[in-house]
Amino acid sequence: MDEDLLFRILFISIYAVFAGVRIYYRGQNLGRESEKEYTQKTKAIIALILAILGYFLTMGLWVVIPQTILLFQISLPVLIRWFGVGMAIIGIALTVWIHRSLGRQYSAKLEIQKEHKLIIEGPYSRVRHPMYTTLNLFSISVSLITANLLLILLAISIAIPFFWIARAEEELLIEQFGEEYLEYMKITGRFFPRLA
């Protein structure tokens, strides 16, 4: 089989599984009542929405009419494209683990649910935002499969607003859980486990 076709099929299949996992867990959490919501439309959220729109648009072009963005195809070593495949699959497995740990506390918005519990187990025992880390590692890895520079750069740009979003989220969680969250912050890393 033509190598490019193989990577195209792998990209579409891996993305479809990832989207299926996300849609499933989002569906599990529909219809709950929120207690407190962070409604501020910050620059970070606007930047994130724009980056995601750009990413999906480019992804659609790459899948359906790749000739339109041929200009951005780079000769990435095949090994790096396979590394992208491996990392993306690991990313899906981690996403399932993280969703199962966060349970009904998960939301696409920054909010506190009714009867919101602080989760400090599983992936949350070492890292405060494992979902954001995994989501971004997944987007970057899956983009490596395409060997399209525009997609890789857009995936990196999606990661940037999360530095601000995580900070805003922590303010909300401190407001809700006070000392308990402050103590939790001391023993965890924001995006990666603490080294010491």
Which residue's CB atom is positioned nearest to ligand SAH?
131
Q: Which of 136, 114, 153 is nearest to 190 (CA)?
A: 136
Nearest to 75 by CA among 146, 125, 173: 146
Largest CA distance in the chain: 58
- What is the DSSP track for 143-171? HHHHTBHHHHHHHHHHHTTHHHHHHHHHH
Applying CB under 6 A, what is the total number of residues that bind ligand SAH?
Answer: 17
Measured from the CB atom, the residue of 11 and 184 that comes closer to ligand SAH is 184
* Residue 132 contacts ligand SAH per CB under 6 A: yes
Map residues 143-172 to x or -, x wherever contact with ligand SAH holds by CB under 6 A. Answer: --------------------------x---
The answer to whether 124 contacts ligand SAH (rule: CB under 6 A) is yes
Can residue 107 be called a binding residue for ligand SAH (CB under 6 A)? yes
Helix locations, 39-196, DSSP H: 43-64, 78-102, 130-146, 149-159, 162-177, 179-187
Contact 17, 24 (CB under 8 A): no
Residue among 81 and 129 whose Cβ is closer to ligand SAH: 129
The yes or no reply on residue 131 touching ligand SAH (CB under 6 A) is: yes
Minimum CB distance to ligand SAH smaller for 147 or for 159:
159
Using the rule CB under 6 A, is 105 a contact of ligand SAH?
A: yes
- With CB under 6 A as the contact rule, which of the stretches 42-50, 64-72, 124-132, 139-147 interacts with ligand SAH? 124-132
Nearer to ligand SAH, 7 or 184 (CB): 184
Of 36, 37, 185, the residue nearest 124 (C-alpha) = 185
Unique residue bearing structure tokens 């899948």:
63
User: How far is residue 186's CA from residue 189's CA, in Å, rounded to a whole number?
Assistant: 8
Which residue from 48, 92, 112, 137 is in contact with ligand SAH, where contact means CB under 6 A? 112
Residues engaged in binding ligand SAH (CB under 6 A) = 98, 105-107, 109-112, 118-119, 124, 129-132, 169, 173
